[in-house]
Amino acid sequence: MSAILLAMTGAGWNPAQWQARFSALAPRREVRIWPDRVGDPAEIGYVCAWKPPPGLFAQFPHLRAIFSLGAGVDHLTGDPLLPAVPLVRVVDRDLTARMTEHVVLHVLLHHRRLRLYERQQRERVWHEHAQPAASEVAVGILGLGVLGRDAAEVLARIGFRVAGFGRTEKSVPGIETFHGQAGLDAFLARTEILACLLPHTPATEGILNLTLLRKLKHDGALGGAYLINVGRGRLQVDADILAALEEGTLAGASLDVFPTEPLPRASPLWAHPNVVITPHNAAVSDPRALAENVLTQIERFERGLPLEHVVDRAAGY
């Protein structure tokens, strides 16, 4: 039976915890940990990876599939020696639900002017501001994958006017959808709160720039435009977001990801009164749910069934 290798770098990962969970679910499956307990490279059939070093996968002659432990795969696709085995994105109900929690919280936070009321609380001021209903406010979901569609569905249930933009034409019940370059401009022109859930690819790098933000609707029910980025840090240009806040193009932002993480202490984004910063924790992989997800996929695969959520390498996600 092919062994599973866990190869994770970066803070916050606990490979021993992941190994314990895999072993609890599939006691007969061997699970090893990179870099110290790889054993015979020829026995590695699967790698569960987060930001592994380039060239790692090329060392395993019998590699059958690679699983990315987050929703993104940009940490893998840059490897010039990446073998031609299926590259599988994690699409997990738990991860999706956590992302929706985050997106809904931050849409409501800007919609209901929470930062303004917090400032009033600090000053002990009891004062109510005019408040549009969600049904008057246009939310736009940039990226209509599994995560974007789930967030769109909940926001529509709450009452927001929700639209979505995808690279290709997609149909989502109850949601107005846009695609293509002309579609993007029309989508932005009707959107007051933009939630970005795009993957990071050469085509999306730096897409959240001043030119794009200026296309948002600024005279809607909220009287300003808001950005929520939970996609990838390299989608956004920090200096442009600051400039957009400065010139009034943005009234506020919730940023969970940044081109440089952790966000450097010197960044002026930390201190901006209308910017909400979270430490890339919008949707954190839960070892319990994801280990089960990966094992189910491997069992299906070994019974001859196709893997689900395999990355289209040409599209980059």
Choose between 84 and 130: whose C-beta lies nearer to a copy of itself.
130
Please choose, from the candidates 115, 51, 70, the residue with its C-alpha nearest in 3D space to the C-alpha of residue 231. 70
Cβ atoms of 92 and 68 within 8 Å: the answer is: no
Cβ atoms of 187 and 162 within 8 Å: the answer is: no
Contact between 262 and a copy of itself per CB under 8 A:
yes
Contact between 173 and a copy of itself per CB under 8 A:
no
Choose between 28 and 122: whose C-beta lies nearer to a copy of itself.
122
Contact between 307 and a copy of itself per CB under 8 A:
no
Q: Whats the size of the chain, residue-wise?
A: 317
Choose between 155 and 188: whose C-beta lies nearer to a copy of itself.
155
Give, in order, the Cα–Cα distances in Å from 101 to each of 106, 110, 216: 9, 15, 24
The gap between the terminal CA atoms of the chain, to the nearest Å, is 29
112: which DSSP letter? Answer: T
Contact between 104 and a copy of itself per CB under 8 A:
yes
Least separation in angstroms between CB 261 and a copy of itself:
7
Contact between 274 and a copy of itself per CB under 8 A:
no
Known catalytic residue: 232? yes
Please choose, from the candidates 85, 70, 228, 81, the residue with its C-alpha nearest in 3D space to the C-alpha of residue 160. 228
Contact between 97 and a copy of itself per CB under 8 A:
yes
Please choose, from the candidates 315, 312, 309, the residue with its C-alpha nearest in 3D space to the C-alpha of residue 67. 309
Contact between 126 and a copy of itself per CB under 8 A:
yes
CB atoms within 10 A of CB 81: 10
d(CA 45, CA 51): 18
Contact between 20 and a copy of itself per CB under 8 A:
no
Choose between 19 and 100: whose C-beta lies nearer to a copy of itself.
100
**Interface pick for a copy of itself out of 80, 84, 127, 182 (rule CB under 8 A):** 127
Cβ atoms of 32 and 41 within 8 Å: the answer is: no
Known catalytic residue: 280? yes
Stretch that binds a copy of itself, among 23-31, 46-54, 93-101, 161-169 (CB under 8 A): 93-101
Q: Which residues bind a copy of itself (CB under 8 A)?
A: 12, 94, 97-98, 100-102, 104-105, 108-109, 111-112, 114, 117-118, 120-121, 124, 126-129, 131, 133-135, 154, 157-159, 261-263, 265, 270, 276-281, 284, 286, 289
Residues annotated catalytic, as ranges: 232, 280
